[in-house]
Amino acid sequence: MSEHRRRSSGRTGPSGAGGIPRGGRAEARRAARSGGGRGRRAAAPRRADALPTGRRRLVDYPRAGKRGVRRWLPSWKQVLGTFLLFSGGVLGLFWYAYATTTIPSANPSTQQQSNTYYWSDGSVMATQGSMNRQNVDLAQIPKAVQWDFLAAENATFYTDPGVDTQGMLRAVYHMATGGEVQSGSTITQQFVKNTYLNQNQSVTRKLREILISLKIGDQMSKQQILQGYLNSCYYGRGAYGIEAAANAYYHVHASQLTVSQGAFLTATVNEPSVMMLAGTDPQAKTQATARWKYVLDRMVTIHQISQAQEQQYLTAGFPTPKPYTPSAGMSGQSGYLMQIAEKYVEAHSSATEQQLGHGGYQIYTTFDKKKVRALAASVKAMEHKHLDPGHRAADKNVQVGAASIDPSTGAVVALYGGAGWDKGHWTDNAEATGVPVGSTFKPVDLAAALDHGAVLSPGQPASPITPDSKFNGDDRLTIKNQQGQEMPDPGDPTGLLHQRNDVTTKWGYITLRKAMEQSVNTPYVQLGEYVGYSNVESEALKAGLLRTSLQYDTPGFYIGTSTPSAIRMADAYATFDDEGVQHDPYSVTKVVADGQQLPGFDKPKGTMAMPSSTADTVTDVLQGVVKHGTGTNAQALGRPVAGKTGTTDDYKSAWFIGYTPQLVTSVSMFKEDPKKAGLQSMQGAGGYSKVFGADMPTEVWTGYMTAALQGQPVRQFPPAPSLGKGTDEYGAPSPTPSPTQSTPSATPTTPVSPTPTTGGCHGPKKGCASPTPTGTSGTTTGGTGGGLLGGTTGGGTSPTPTPTPSFTGRGRHP
């Protein structure tokens, strides 16, 4: 290019030749960008929607520099940022809610439980409480049954954090698409809902359920949560918790459930109103069967059972529930039985009355269902036959109390307490004191005489006494003390104590055996004075009677002015029956609370109360009472029987206590107006001018014992030992052998007395050892009751000696 062209093609200027800034093209470009220099291009015209230069928006939306739809579409950065911001906010709010959430107190209703009482065979006797629930420990529920619930409700229970988002979404999907309704809640969530919240279907409640479930998952073990869930669910038939459900549907404990039964109970949780009818409603059974199969299928799916096992369950068939019987209440004898058992629990454990009132106790009793019903039936049959209070005034307020005891253990197998709590009769006649026992106390006098002898000569050692020893049996006998002095009685015209018999028969000197058979009073009052009150009282206490029920030291004490309960009298006779071994009467064998068995309910150990020779001798004498004495009506049992009748003055009470080698039963009868304290005469009751223990009480005894011993072998009593000839009361004629007397042998020089030993006693008692007593059962004070564990006040007492008649004809004897 020529110099001219070079000059004409560029501009000259101060920057340098040709107008190019010094520093080259790079400098020129910078100058152009900064808007300086003449070489700058003219600025493009500004768009109407452009912001002024230098102003930036926090959020570029609508988007600058975009036209049309693109201006309103957010960029991917905006979308991502918005998502992250929202997610962070939600997480922050959730974290705050979680941090401020506390686990509330459990709903009071979920803590309510009933006390369940069981018969001796393990079946439910009755439940007490407004909520039919008995919590059990998870270890008491078979593992396979636990998995029934997990398979159907929450298979991931042991691995999830307490909530299952996928499960909730899946449940929503199934419901939205018309599929099977599913819970969507985990076991933990259901436990929280049952225990801490309510059943309302709201978003707020659901959010609280999730938050508390997460908290619970951090603070409780999975085993605790599952246990709480199984104990809190409602299963239908009024059953809350799996233990109550197992009994309501299958009459078993939760520990006895099978996999098949467990699958059914699992299904009841979702639809209890349908499942509870599965045993009677064909349509309900069809639905229940489908749900039952579903649970078994799920068990196969999660590999808890094999397909072969499932096929076995399907082949065995649907586990149809047992017929529905509402929980028994306090009707009939149930109220008395539960009261006795509850008092025993209080006396032998740390459980208080208030704690028992809160429920949750499973109390296993000694009561035999069949025997209790047989005893009540026998009483009812006697009343139907003899008593007509609607047409005969003498029959009004006549009452019966009875108790039956296993002599080998002391277990109370049956009681009759009265017409029933549901009939307004609250006093338990079997346990109440206040009814004098009359001549049924005489065997205690005889036992004391056999053990301690009698002071027949003032200032001399006690002489040995046997059933063949003779005493004066005449009426209005003047009673003497051990010093040979005639005892004073300010109320008698002569100033001396004259004991009466019910009849004026001139018995003369008769053996103690015959006096027992014919229930003659005077020999036993005089015998008691010669033996001594302290010795007779001690014998009574060792036999099982309670000191609080024994009458003060009076001559009437020896013929039954004391007022032990029917339970305690049966227990005392059980000591004779078990060859001298006394067992405290007991009514409870086991108590379970919160899945744990309480200590203190081992079977009471026997104590050697008297030598077996003494007990067997008394039994032999009491067999004579039934064979040819006042107790002949008891021969109707058709077995060997030993027993004694008892009647008190003015016929205010009548008793019969009898036993076979297997069973002892006492029956008392008395009359008491519930509006007035004190016993009334039963004269005229049942159409009898005089009411004796040999009549209506023995009829109750015989009817019951016939049913109670049905199917049991006939057993014989042990033979009575040969005691030789005892010492007679001064003035008795020379002995004349009789068919009812023991064969004389060498006369002992000292009275028979027990020899202290140690060890346990069961079965034949010859040479049996004597363990240390474990303590008394429910000792009471004052006029309260009977000793198996407390009791209630019965009628009044008779403060005077009790004349007991010897009555012939029609078997009417005291």
Least confident of 629-643, 739-753, 772-786: 772-786
* Burial degree of 24 (CB within 10 A; 0-12, 13-18, 19+): exposed
- 345 Cβ contact partners less than 8 Å away, ≥ 6 residues apart: 351, 356, 361, 363, 588, 591
Query: Which tokens hold the place of 713?
Result: 């072998």
Lowest mean pLDDT of 230-244, 715-729, 784-798, name the range.
784-798
Sorted by where each starts, the structural domains of the chain and their CATH numbers stand as: 133-316 (1.10.3810.10)
Task: Convert the pLDDT of each residue in 471-517 to its tens digit.
Answer: 999 999 999 999 999 999 988 899 999 999 888 889 999 999 999 99
Distance CA 132, CA 631 (A): 47
Partner residues linked to 642 by β-bridges: 659
> What average pLDDT does range 222-243 have in this prediction?
90
Structure tokens given for 524: 């036993």
Inform me whether the pLDDT recorded for 753 exceeds 80. Answer: no
* Nearest alpha-carbon partner for 790 in 336, 423, 379, 421: 336
Phi and psi for 283 in degrees, rounded to 5? -65, -45
Q: In this structure, what DSSP letter does residue 227 have?
A: H
Per the CB < 8 A criterion, the answer to whether 438 and 649 are in contact is no
Listed range (197-201, 293-297, 448-452, 623-627) with the worst mean pLDDT = 197-201
Whole-number pLDDT of residue 675? 75
- Alpha carbon distance 247, 28 (integer Å): 100
The mean per-residue pLDDT over the stretch 600-612 comes to 95
Largest Cα–Cα distance in the chain?
A: 187
Per-residue pLDDT for 791 more than 60?
A: no
pLDDT of residue 426: 82
Residue 726 has pLDDT above 50, yes or no: yes
Contacting residues for 13 by C-beta, under 8 A, at least 6 apart:
19, 38
The pLDDT > 90 percentage for the chain reads 55
Q: What is the pLDDT of residue 39?
A: 44
The helix/strand/coil state of 604 is coil
Q: Categorize the per-residue pLDDT at 751 as very low, low, confident or very high, splitting at 50, 70 and 90.
A: very low
Q: What is the pLDDT of residue 127?
A: 87
For the segment 420-437, the average pLDDT, to the nearest whole number, is 90
Identify the residue with better confidence: 232 or 12.
232
Banded pLDDT at 80 (limits 50, 70, 90): confident
Residues 6+ apart with CB under 8 A from 321: 249, 250, 264, 276, 278, 279
Query: Does 789 have pLDDT greater than 50?
Result: no
Measured at the CA of 693, the angle between CA 690 and CA 696, to 5 degrees, comes to: 80
pLDDT range class, residue 103, cuts 50, 70, 90? low
Q: Which of 38-52, 220-234, 307-321, 668-682 has the lowest mean pLDDT?
A: 38-52
pLDDT, one tens digit per residue, over 509-561 is 999 999 999 999 999 999 999 999 999 999 999 999 999 999 988 899 999 99
Query: Which pLDDT belongs to residue 148?
Result: 96
- Name the residue among 518, 499, 496 with its Cα closest to residue 507: 518
- Indicate the average pLDDT of the chain: 81
Q: Residue 347: pLDDT band by 50, 70, 90 thresholds?
A: very high
Q: Give 195's pLDDT tier (boundaries 50, 70, 90).
A: confident
Position 181 scores a pLDDT of 44
pLDDT tops 80 at residue 67 = no
Amino acid 636: pLDDT: 97
Structure tokens given for 194: 């049952």
**Nearest Cα residue to 379 out of 704, 770, 113, 784:** 704
Pair of tokens at residue 239:
């059953």
How many CB atoms neighbour CB 509 within 10 A?
A: 17
% of the chain with per-residue pLDDT over 70: 75
The residues near 327 (Cβ < 8 Å, ≥ 6 apart) are 114, 124, 126, 127, 132, 238
- Count helices and strands in the chain by DSSP H and E runs: 24, 16
3-state secondary structure of 661: coil
Closest alpha carbon to 274 in 290, 295, 259? 290
Task: Indicate if the pLDDT at residue 469 is higher than 50.
Answer: yes
Residue 656 has phi, psi (to 5 degrees) of -140, 125
Better-predicted residue by pLDDT, 323 or 795: 323
Query: Residue 809's pLDDT is what?
Result: 28
> Rounded to an integer, what distance in angstroms lies between the CA atom of residue 247 and that of residue 240?
11
Most trustworthy range by pLDDT among 9-18, 265-274, 665-674: 665-674
Classify the phi-psi angles of 735: left when phi > 0, otherwise alpha if psi is within -120 to 50, otherwise beta: beta
Cα four-point dihedral sign 627, 633, 638, 643: negative
Other Cβ atoms closer than 10 A to 251: 15
Backbone phi and psi for residue 669, each to the nearest 5 degrees, phi listed first: -140, 135
Return the number of other C-beta atoms located less than 10 Å from residue 707's C-beta. 15
pLDDT at 810 over 80: no
Residue with tokens 């079946």: 123
pLDDT at 771 over 80: no
- For residue 194, pLDDT over 80 is answered with no
Write down the pLDDT at residue 271: 85
N residues, the chain: 814
Output b/e per residue, 777-798; b: 16+ Cβ within 10 A. Answer: bbebeebbbbbbbbbbebbbbb
Q: In the structure, what pLDDT confidence band is assigned to residue 814 with cuts at 50, 70 and 90? A: very low
Q: How confident is the model at residue 449 (pLDDT cuts 50, 70, 90)?
A: very high
Say if residue 798's pLDDT is above 60: no
Q: Sort strands 115-118 and 361-365 into parallel, antiparallel or unpaired.
A: parallel
Tokens at 573, concatenated: 């006779």
Helices 612-628 and 442-452: crossing angle, nearest 10°? 140
Pairing type for strands 412-416 and 398-405 reads antiparallel
What is the C-alpha to C-alpha distance for residues 432 and 453, in angstroms, rounded to an integer? 33
Alpha helices in 629-711 (DSSP H): 696-708
